[in-house]
Structure 1
């Protein structure tokens, strides 16, 4: 018997079909289908033709492709029994639970005692399709690989875009042409990682940021992932995501993938980006106080490093507040005997040498300046030179002769005693002091990947959040090292990169916006000479690049000239005046005719206002700036545009573009089809243009 199911959102339809009671396959996934579509007809129409030299039927690219069906590609499930013998399931239909916008399909293999569940749900407002798989066994088995429900890749897609990176160089798009065979990304570092963000974008032929068809995926798991994008010998394609293979270390009778978030777009890559941004901001992140504006940060790390002096920190706090900071974050160096990175991780007790009266005097001063107080932890780590390691060397994760990272080792977060100890130390500080923010770091990879480690970290975070619901948490992890929807269901901010180089940040922020909204993406104004790149940038460039996202400062404010302080104060005031609507705006990447320009348009939810950031990342090849085309405006409406940072125009800009002298009023059609003409600029500068619909 053949069976079909469909679930619908406002802008997409998913149709699944099962032939002869076998595992279901995705028959259709794309723009919304008519309500009266013949679904069994679709199942028949989806059957490809046969020719010589092949099997007499196609093994399905099912939601969990089965090796037992002679499937020629990567199977969706690899497992062995307790004796190590490989199991080859042949699942048959058992049941379906259908509802408005959601579906659960169950298939069984009675001979092997296995049950497979596939869950699907479409969010009608964010246009995100969420799916995950569950495997149950009557006897303990060892899982080597379980894919979330498998999707076909469109045939009209010529290339795929996934993401590589490094410390201070995160979110680097990698474009790979489709060809017979597979692209496999297997991140076995034990955390999401700089090296491989768990995302994939499949642009249709000719798609751009602002136009064309595309679909995209994100795997919401913080422990390392495996991605398979495979073209079979017959030309069919499949997309698989799951935990990194071989990371379920124990025999068990139940396994579950993380959620796979998917979306389709007919408005280019931006359609996918907006869906992810909205879903993360409005469905995944839970805000301690949703009505509270996002506060301007000050972080003391690049000002003092480990050299903490209460009097100096008070002076720095006063200056930061005068510049517009609303939250002061005390970074690494406040605990144990932490004078460098070789000691004291795990000893979460205030260093009496640096803070003889505890943290109270500093916190009281910070609050007297109108700021709240945040603090740095790295709970999952330990130094050998620490009281914790002396007492519990057995709590270290991995072998004694493993390679250290940053002079530190991982704690075994699967051990409940470890979690209880960390909870007690962190909770004691949160109870003793007025702390509203934790910067939660993770500065090395695991000695070997283990999913139990991630589940243990989740458990500790969940426990702390339940006990201290007013505390906001940032996922830092060396900047960019642990960013995914799994960790962001437990945190409210990510530190996108340890690079405060505005030029590097301009590109990193631009590409991360394919998944991340402004409200969660931390971006700071760094020192005049960047500590990670050695480059020096003008304060105007540094401040406006930070103002693209959740703004903060991370330098010694005592180094600022009067002119730099005035510029930073002015940009910060602008950020505060616009943050409410921009925190819920869509970030739209623009297609610039000038490859030197990295530009985006942040558009309010009602479309009534926008701001354009157009950064010149290098000297343009041509003399005259090319017009920059905007997107998603009302073609028949008129808009007033104003160059916010008109004072940044340089002397070599000698012409008379209208924006130089004052606001201009132009139609949406003109702005989208021709574009806005920008003034000439030096490289490493950025233009900021506000627009309002009249």
Structure 2
């Protein structure tokens, strides 16, 4: 079984990767390690004394979450870095929540994520899943943290499920995942662009402070793809450590890097907290989008090929998933907006003679679409003709 819990350490692993979480003496989840496969018995967490002015636990002045690597950091629980979860009560009070370990379970397979696109299993045994539940005793709010690891590929899929507490609350931030790295000696890559020039590679060295990518457009959009790669500075196409993160979500998103004072670095990904406020009534839940994490010790190429294999087999759906797609012709370059039935039929006939199997009718077929200045998005629904 590729998930073990021994000596207060969760070890999520396969032949290629390891991901380790320590359950502290105060029931906090501390992030120990993520990278190439290791023996979890030979790893330990770097314990730092608390920084000046950092809050600490009870009378234990050496224990402060402000300097410890965390698995899912909360607002108000000693840590002054970016939180993964924030909520407020109906009267506007922000909760200073302190999420502590409650329980865990390990299941075979990968559960579906209701209402959201997600990686799925083709057959039994492709994934094993760890679900850790943490909760805040005062508010009653709890969070289930999901970790699904592939049996054969260097892949972990993560999301969280926030469960309501004793009263209604408003979520203002709920990340899919958070990872604290022990150093910030990285560069990062994202894929920016615009309409008809998507996915341009942009690289930069990680600097102290905040950096990252986001979309506030209501969609991920061609401007920012919900993807980031974090890599060692010597990493190239076929050499070096690379961590790839892909959010399976097309709405407003944010991927944050925070390189802090002591040289560590926090990565977070999920729904963009900008203008986000979700009411969670008693008995309700909020499920975050899935983050797919790929580790490569052989550069960007191995990371990219891993994502491609996974998404072809475990994200794409439908009868054409494993079939050779039909050869198609698109009328756009042949006609632009200027076409009629005779022109289109003539294109189809000529295309058929060449063995082309599918015709795609492009822009210009609706409304008064004679140029780029009308009919795209200015439709109105005549409700008088709707059934019922």
TM-score by length of 1: 0.47
Map of 1:166-565 to 2, 5 A cutoff?
A: 166-253=194-281, 254-340=285-371, 382-383=377-378, 386-388=379-381, 391=383
Deviation for aligned residue 1:313: 0.7
Residue 148 of structure 2 corresponds to residue 128 of structure 1: no
2:95 to 64, 82, 87: 87
2:177 to 149, 152, 158: 149
CA spacing shift, 1:156–1:336, aligned 2, 3 Å: closer
1:571-608: per-residue Cα shift (whole Å, max 9, x none)? xxxxxxxxxxxxxxxxxxxxxxxxxxxxxxxxxxxxxx
Unaligned 5+ segments in structure 2 are 1-6, 55-61, 109-127
| In structure 2, distance between residues paired with 1:284 and 1:225 | 19
Deviation for aligned residue 1:109: 0.9
Give the structure 1 partner of residue 48 of structure 2: 49
Deviation for aligned residue 1:231: 0.9
CA spacing shift, 1:179–1:246, aligned 2, 3 Å: closer
Contact 2:13 2:37 in 1 (8 A): yes
Deviation for aligned residue 1:326: 2.0
CA spacing shift, 1:154–1:197, aligned 2, 3 Å: farther
Give the structure 1 partner of residue 140 of structure 2: 113
Residue 77 of structure 2 corresponds to residue 77 of structure 1: no
| In structure 2, distance between residues paired with 1:311 and 1:338 | 18
Contact 1:79 1:86 in 2 (8 A): yes
State the number of aligned residues: 349
Give the structure 2 partner of residue 5 of structure 1: 10
Greater fraction strand: 2
1:644-664: per-residue Cα shift (whole Å, max 9, x none)? xxxxxxxxxxxxxxxxxxxxx
SS in 2 for 1:68: coil
Deviation for aligned residue 1:168: 2.6
Greater fraction helix: 1
| In structure 2, distance between residues paired with 1:249 and 1:67 | 16
Map of 1:8-27 to 2, 5 A cutoff?
A: 8-27=13-32
Give the structure 1 partner of residue 105 of structure 2: 97
| In structure 1, distance between residues paired with 2:175 and 2:27 | 17
Give the structure 2 partner of residue 32 of structure 1: 37
CA spacing shift, 1:86–1:291, aligned 2, 3 Å: closer
| In structure 2, distance between residues paired with 1:105 and 1:173 | 36
Contact 2:29 2:100 in 1 (8 A): no
What is the RMSD of the two structures over their aligned residues, measured on CA atoms? 2.5
Deviation for aligned residue 1:122: 0.9
1:145-168: per-residue Cα shift (whole Å, max 9, x none)? 111121123637431112221223
1:211-245: per-residue Cα shift (whole Å, max 9, x none)? 12111111111102111111111221110001111
Contact 1:156 1:205 in 2 (8 A): no
Contact 1:164 1:174 in 2 (8 A): yes
Give the greater-gyration-radius structure (CA): 1
Deviation for aligned residue 1:288: 1.6
CA spacing shift, 1:308–1:23, aligned 2, 3 Å: farther
Contact 1:104 1:118 in 2 (8 A): yes
| In structure 2, distance between residues paired with 1:291 and 1:176 | 37
CA spacing shift, 1:338–1:133, aligned 2, 3 Å: same
CA spacing shift, 1:137–1:10, aligned 2, 3 Å: same
CA spacing shift, 1:166–1:153, aligned 2, 3 Å: farther
CA spacing shift, 1:102–1:317, aligned 2, 3 Å: same
SS in 1 for 2:225: coil
CA spacing shift, 1:110–1:50, aligned 2, 3 Å: closer
Give the structure 1 partner of residue 72 of structure 2: 64
Greater RCO, 1 or 2 (C-alpha within 8 Å, sep 6+): 2
1:166-205: per-residue Cα shift (whole Å, max 9, x none)? 2232212222222221104231001111221111111123
1:617-642: per-residue Cα shift (whole Å, max 9, x none)? xxxxxxxxxxxxxxxxxxxxxxxxxx
